[in-house]
Amino acid sequence: MRHIISLLMENEAGALSRVAGLFSARGYNIESLTVAPTEDPTMSRMTIVTSGSDDVIEQINKQLNKLVDVVTVMDLTDGDHIERELMLVKVLATGESREELKRIADIFRGRIIDVSDKTYTIELTGAGSKLDSFLQAIDRGLILETVRTGASGIGRGDRILKL
Amino acid sequence: MELTGAEITIRCLQEEGVEYIFGYPGGAVLFIYDELFKQDKVKHILVRHEQAAVHAADGYARSTDKVGVALVTSGPGVTNAVTGIATAYLDSIPLVVISGQVPTSFIGEDAFQEVDAVGITRPCVKHNFLVKDPKDIASTLKKAFYLAKSGRPGPVLVDIPKDVSNQKAEFSYPATVNIRSYNPQVQGDIGQIKRAAQMLLEAKRPMVYAGGGVILSDASKQLTELVRLLGAPCTNTLMGLGGYPASDKQFVGMLGMHGTYEANFGMQNCDVLLAVGARFDDRVIGNVAHFNSVPRKIIHIDIDPASISKRVKVDVSIVGDVAHVLSDMLAVLNSSKQKPDANAQKNWWKQIDEWRGANSLSYKNSSEIIKPQYVIETLHKITHGDAFVVSDVGQHQMWAAQYYKFNQPRRWINSGGLGTMGFGLPAAMGVQLAHPGATVACVTGEGSIQMNIQELSTCKQYNVPIKIVALNNRYLGMVRQWQEFFHGNRYSHSYMDALPDFVKLAEAYGHVGILVEKPSDVEGALKEAFARKNDLVFLDFRTDSTENVYPMVPGGKGLSEVILAEDL
Ligand SMILES: Cc1cc2nc3c(=O)[nH]c(=O)nc-3n(C[C@H](O)[C@H](O)[C@H](O)COP(=O)(O)OP(=O)(O)OC[C@H]3O[C@@H](n4cnc5c(N)ncnc54)[C@H](O)[C@@H]3O)c2cc1C
Ligand SMILES: Cc1ncc(C[n+]2csc(CCOP(=O)(O)OP(=O)(O)O)c2C)c(N)n1
Ligand SMILES: [Mg+2]
């Protein structure tokens, strides 16, 4: 099953490679991994999207907790949560597809953030599945470039990951 | 007062009460060596290879309850140390390894003798640090010692660039240490402990399986008391030997791949299993599905939550330090009105004694050829079962584990998790330095000893009078055994051709060598060697090269699918 694991870790050089190294050394899947400092500059927050059996996920959580740089770990998928990902897509927008692409972007609540005479760059946020659907909705041949951040997640209501 | 980074480093070691540091110099650590030179509190042992420095620090740590310390230079110094670090990591041994690094301004330039020490050791340390500022050395070393020793112990590497060891900073050694992201749980949950106690009281066929965690926690007293109170059979893993007295009647021997029949059948058939500081290793539970095919309740005590339900699912998990948890469990049991079910236990012991009757460690002695088991039994006799026995890796290791009955913790020193050939001699050196005057035997094979033989020179320099008991079977015996069992007797590259004359070799290093070829000479040679209190004696026993280690549960098989000597 797919799990979204959020963690706070010391903003130390090398902390990221400890997490990445753990996943590769133990053969765990990483679908995506994002990390950036928080409002407390000594700490970074990481979101890891992974998949595995319940046993594997349990081990992943324990092994992450065991890393000395990791302050706290939460499996967001254990409860209500929100997941968002940002995607930028550059598409070939000429002739009639120019109108068509604008319409589809609107439907997905995307924004065109850069325009040239041949291209649009569309910004889209949402759960990963929404971004996937957007890519499926437009003509594959028109996609010049896509870049995705990987998921960030947060618990709903008073589910809070804090020190 | 301002001190250089190198001075600070040595002052920290002094503050930690470090008695010995095992090391090897080189460019990146010259400032640190300079400071070592100027003081005599921390004694430096110059090894002949960095791997040996780490193994020696490791042996020192295993035989005491202290942190072992090693010092190596950058580049090849660190890479040579990696095997030692990984060895300590897999057996959870507390070490602080200090490595030199190229100057900070050179890092990343493929500088002379530069390797990414933090990167290379990351997967085999508990934690590591690169110190970029001399003002951080003291706090980092404080953390390093604390991390190494607390919780589940392990090696910690501190990488110090050369310029950092030469720059000055204010020195004060922190009295306490607080790492917000690291809080190992020492006390066990009392609710879980009560549940476990109740389960044990209701057991019809209880079994205690105790491992290296008991040794690391110095909890053999509590374990022994608990096992006696429960009246249950107790087995030890290879790493746990000595955690429960081997001569006690409730001890059923080691379990696992080369465990006794009674220990493995007890594991398989018990109804409540208490696992104490043991991690259900694949050399212990080879085939998890086979193990799970018999229902039983499992209680697991371990300080590392990640050890629990990793390979085998458990019913009651207790995260905490063995000594603390067992003390609490004893208190619960002692205040309970309920006593273990004596009737059920009588039957259980009847069954166990039947398994014992298989006499799975019996072997046929010979008057023609030296049997390795006989050497170990005689070693036990001559040393009154009271020696520190440090082993290398192979068949000789298993025979030492099986036939030297350990009654005390920290007397059996070996590389279990990584199985590092070459561990024995340097580790024995560390053990002897930690216990001057004690009897230290290094049980080894002609293969293993050659992996760190150069340490004979270190032993000469520092008068380390260990006794090397080489079971020389002219084979990489453990490999040969697997080839005999599983590869159609094709002995591919397991024969050691062109062996050195070990007696002459020992003599060349300034030690005493004794060649023993006849069974009737075994006892006399051992007596002679151990009587030489101040000499390192190399005993070259020419043992039966066809002998195999029994019992054997082949890899991937269940605990009851065992091969006994008589089966073949
Ligand atoms: C050739 C060869 C053959 C082998 N054959 C066998 C065999 O037949 N049988 C066998 O048993 N092994 C055998 N081994 C060794 C095996 O590979 C493992 O090293 C060993 O079984 C692990 O022992 P352990 O479970 O006690 O764990 P250890 O590696 O000693 O781990 C200790 C456990 O205790 C925990 N712990 C540490 N400190 C504390 C504390 N203070 N409080 C609570 N918990 C703590 C740790 O978290 C860990 O889970 C063999 C090795 C070799 C090289
Ligand atoms: C560094 C290293 N290389 C290879 C092995 C694989 N191995 C395990 S036991 C063994 C043979 C050991 O031979 P020896 O020291 O003569 O001991 P014996 O088994 O003959 O008693 C080998 C090669 C190992 N454990 N460690
Ligand atoms: Mg051999």
Confidence of residue B567 (pLDDT cuts 50, 70, 90): low
Contact B118 A14 (CB under 8 A): yes
Q: What is the pLDDT of residue B378?
A: 98
CA distance B142 to B146: 6
Closest atom of ligand 1 relative to the B553 alpha carbon? 8
Q: Is B212 in the pocket of ligand 1 (CB under 6 A)?
A: yes
Dist. CA B427 → ligand 1 center (Å): 18
Close Cβ partners of B471 (under 8 Å, ≥ 6 residues apart): B372, B375, B395, B396, B399, B443, B444, B445, B541, B543
Task: Give the phi and the psi of residue A119 in degrees, each rounded to 5.
Answer: -135, 160
Instruction: Find the mean pLDDT for residues B417-433.
Output: 98
Q: What is the pLDDT of residues B524-545, one digit of tens each?
A: 999 999 999 999 999 999 999 9
Dist. CA B47 → ligand 3 center (Å): 25
Mean of per-residue pLDDT scores for chain B:
97
User: Of these residues, B267, B478, B496, B552, which one is catalytic?
Assistant: B478
Residue B548 DSSP label: -
Confidence of residue B568 (pLDDT cuts 50, 70, 90): low
CA distance B393 to B396: 7
Confidence of residue B372 (pLDDT cuts 50, 70, 90): very high
3-state helix/strand/coil string of B205-236? CEEEEECHHHHHCCCHHHHHHHHHHHCCCEEE
Considering only CB atoms, B305 lies closest to which of A9, A25, A62, namely A62
Q: What is the pLDDT of residues B130-141, one digit of tens each?
A: 999 999 999 999
Q: Which residues of B touch A162 (CB under 8 A)?
A: none
Confidence of residue B497 (pLDDT cuts 50, 70, 90): confident
CA distance B512 to B270: 50
Q: Which of B150, B181, B279 to mutate to test the interface with A (most CBs of A within 10 A)?
A: B181
10-residue mean pLDDT series, chain A (163 residues): 96 94 96 96 97 97 97 96 97 94 97 97 96 96 97 96 89
- ipTM exceeds 0.85: yes
Q: What is the CA radius of gyration of chain B?
A: 24
Contact A68 B147 (CB under 8 A): yes
pTM score of the predicted model: 0.97
Instruction: Find the mean pLDDT for residues B355-372.
Output: 97
Q: Which of B495, B497, B477, B489 is nearest to B421 (CA)?
A: B477
Considering only CB atoms, B304 lies closest to which of A58, A66, A163, namely A66
Ligand number with the minimum distance to the CA of B401: 1
A145, β-bridge pairs: A90
What residue ranges line ligand 2, CB within 6 angstroms? B 392-396, 419-422, 445-448, 471, 473, 475-479
Name the 3-class secondary structure at B365: coil
Instruction: Find the mean pLDDT for residues B24-28.
Output: 98
A27 touches chain B (CB under 8 A): no
Q: What is the pLDDT of residue B140?
A: 98
Q: What is the pLDDT of residues B458-493, one digit of tens each?
A: 999 999 999 999 999 999 999 999 999 999 999 999
Task: Give the phi and the psi of residue B79 in degrees, each rounded to 5.
Answer: -65, -35
Q: What is the pLDDT of residues B207-224, one digit of tens each?
A: 999 999 999 999 999 999
**Quick check: B238 pLDDT over 70?**
yes
Q: What is the pLDDT of residue A144?
A: 98
Q: Which residues of B touch A72 (CB under 8 A)?
A: 181
Q: What is the pLDDT of residue B1?
A: 82
